Amino acid sequence: MQPYSLRKSFKVVRILARAYVRHTRKGTPLWGHLYVTRKCNLDCDYCFFKDSAKKDLGLTDLCAVLDKMRSMGVGFLAFHGGEPTLRKDFPEIVRHAHKLGFFTYLNTNGTLLDAAYIDRIGAAGIDVVNLSVDSMDVFAPSCKDIAHTHAAVEQLIEARGRYKFEITANFVLNNQNTELLEATLTYLDSLSIPLSIGFIVRHPTCTTQPPNMFFDQPADKAKLFAMLDRIVQWRKEGRNIIEPISYFEAIKQFVDGKLDWQCLAGRDSIGVDTLGELKFCGTLASEKISIHDLTEASMRDLYGMRKAKYGECEKTCLTNCRFVTQYYYKHPLRFIREVASVRRRLFGRPAR
C-alpha cells in the first residue's frame, strides 16, 4: 500500500509496539473500537450497525470510557457508528483521545464533512480519516460514493497536509458493485488514498439486508472469484490496496465453506458500545458489562467468554478489519514492513 508519512508510520508502530509489549505481559488489548453513536444520516441497505433508538453517552462519560480504555493498554482507537460525525462534540472526543496518546482512526460516510468540521477534527489530532466509498458514481444501495462526497474528499485533501492526518477509504465489496471497483481504485490511487476492500458481512439475524447484495448464485460466485483474482493482481502490482493478499484468498475459501480462521476479538481487541458496555465486534450484540467493571484479571478471560457464548462465529463472518488485525497480530514484522513500506521507500516496490 501507499506508505503513511514517515512521521505517522513511526507513531503507529511506536504506539502499537508499546501496547504489544503490555499485551504479551498482561493480556491487555491492542486495538479498541468505540461506538460513539448508532444514529446515522444514511440508510445503507447492507448495514446492521445503525440503530436510531440507541442512546449515546454524553461527552464526559465518553471521555471516562476513553480513560479506561487507555488504562487497559489500548493503543489504536477506531471510532465507529452509526455516523460519528453526527455528533457536534465528536472533535472534543478526538481531542481527549489524542491527549491520552491513542492513535486515532475515524470511520465515516463523509457526507457531513465540510471544511469547518474537518478543521475541528484535524486540529483535535485525528490520525486517520477512513472514508466509506462504494463507487465513483451514485450508488443507490448505500449512497456512499464519490458523487455524494466529492467536495468532502477535496476538502480532506486540502487539510491533509495542514493537520498531518492520513486519508484512507473503505469499499464494501458486494454483488452490486464488483464492476465499480476498478474505477474507484484508480480514482483514489490518483489522490494517494489507499483503499481497504472488505467483503460484505451477512448478519445472522438482520432481516433488512437484501439478498441481491450477496454472492449466492453460481454466476455471482464466478464473478466474485474473477474479481478477487484481479484484486490480488493489482495488489502485486503495487496498487493502493490495504488488505494483505491472504485476505482475498481467504474470501474464496470462506465462500466455499472451507476457511478455518481465528478471529481474535476479545484478545487482540476490545469494543465499547454507545452506553459504555463491552462489545466484542460490530456483528455481535453488546454485553451487559460496563467497561468500567473490567479488571486486568477479567480481561484475560474475554476471548474465552466470547468463545463460550458465541462459538464458531468465524464460520459466518470474515470482516476485513478483524482479519487484518489477527493477521498482523500473528505477523508483527509484516505489519511494520507494510506500514513503513520499506520496500517501496527503498526500492520503489510494494510489500507483499
Ligand X SMILES: C[S@@+](CC[C@H](N)C(=O)[O-])C[C@H]1O[C@@H](n2cnc3c(N)ncnc32)[C@H](O)[C@@H]1O
Cα-to-chain-centroid distance, residue 300: 24
Long-range contacts, 298-303 (Cβ 8 Å, 24+): 299/26, 299/27, 299/28, 299/29, 299/72, 299/270, 300/26, 300/27, 302/266, 302/267, 302/270, 302/278, 303/264, 303/265, 303/266, 303/267
Give bridge partners of residue 172 from the DSSP assignment.
198
- Give dist(CA 277, CA 198) in Å, integer: 26
- Give dist(CA 282, CA 271) in Å, integer: 8
Q: Applying CB under 6 A, which part among 17-25, 105-113, 179-187, 297-305 lies near ligand X? A: 105-113
Out of ligand SF4, ligand X, none, what residue 200 binds, judged by CB under 5 to 8 A for its kind, is ligand X
**Residue showing cell 476479538:** 265
Count residues binding ligand SF4 (CB under 6 A): 23
- Give dist(CA 344, CA 352) in Å, integer: 11
Strand, helix or coil at 25? helix
Pick from 9, 170, 240, 274 the residue near ligand X by CB under 6 A: 170
Pick from 234, 280, 327, 328 the residue near ligand SF4 by CB under 6 A: 280
Q: Applying CB under 6 A, which part among 42-50, 152-160, 248-256, 267-275 lies near ligand X? A: 42-50
Out of ligand SF4, ligand X, none, what residue 322 binds, judged by CB under 5 to 8 A for its kind, is ligand SF4
Q: Which of residues 110-149 bind ligand X (CB under 6 A)?
A: 132
Pick from 38, 68, 80, 279 the residue near ligand X by CB under 6 A: 80
Pick from 28, 37, 109, 149 the residue near ligand X by CB under 6 A: 109
Question: Does the footprint of ligand X cover residue 46 (CB under 6 A)?
Answer: yes
Rank residues 246 and 319 by Cβ distance to ligand SF4 and give the closer one.
Answer: 319
Strand, helix or coil at 47? coil
Integer angstrom CA distances of residue 155 from 33, 62, 108, 146, 258:
26, 28, 14, 13, 44
Question: Does the footprint of ligand SF4 cover residue 303 (CB under 6 A)?
Answer: no
- Give dist(CA 133, CA 113) in Å, integer: 14
| Sheet hosting strand 31-35, strand order edge to edge | 195-199, 166-173, 128-132, 103-108, 76-80, 31-35, 269-272
Out of ligand X, ligand SF4, none, what residue 85 binds, judged by CB under 5 to 8 A for its kind, is none
The residue type of 125 is G
Q: From the CB of 286, what's the least distance to ligand SF4, in Å?
A: 12
Q: Which of residues 138-167 bind ligand SF4 (CB under 6 A)?
A: 142
Question: Does the footprint of ligand X cover residue 59 (CB under 6 A)?
Answer: no
Binding mask 175-204 for ligand X (x = CB under 6 A): -----------------------x-xx---
Q: Which of residues 27-86 bind ligand SF4 (CB under 6 A)?
A: 40, 42-44, 47, 49-50, 81-83
CB-based contact 136:184 (threshold 8 Å)? yes
Q: From the CB of 249, what's the least distance to ligand X, in Å?
A: 18
Strand, helix or coil at 79? strand
Pick from 81, 125, 244, 266 the residue near ligand X by CB under 6 A: 81
Binding site for ligand X (CB under 6 A): 40, 46-47, 49, 80-83, 107-109, 132, 170, 172, 198, 200-201
Binding interface with ligand SF4 (CB under 6 A): 40, 42-44, 47, 49-50, 81-83, 109, 142, 263, 265, 280-281, 283-284, 313-314, 317, 319, 322
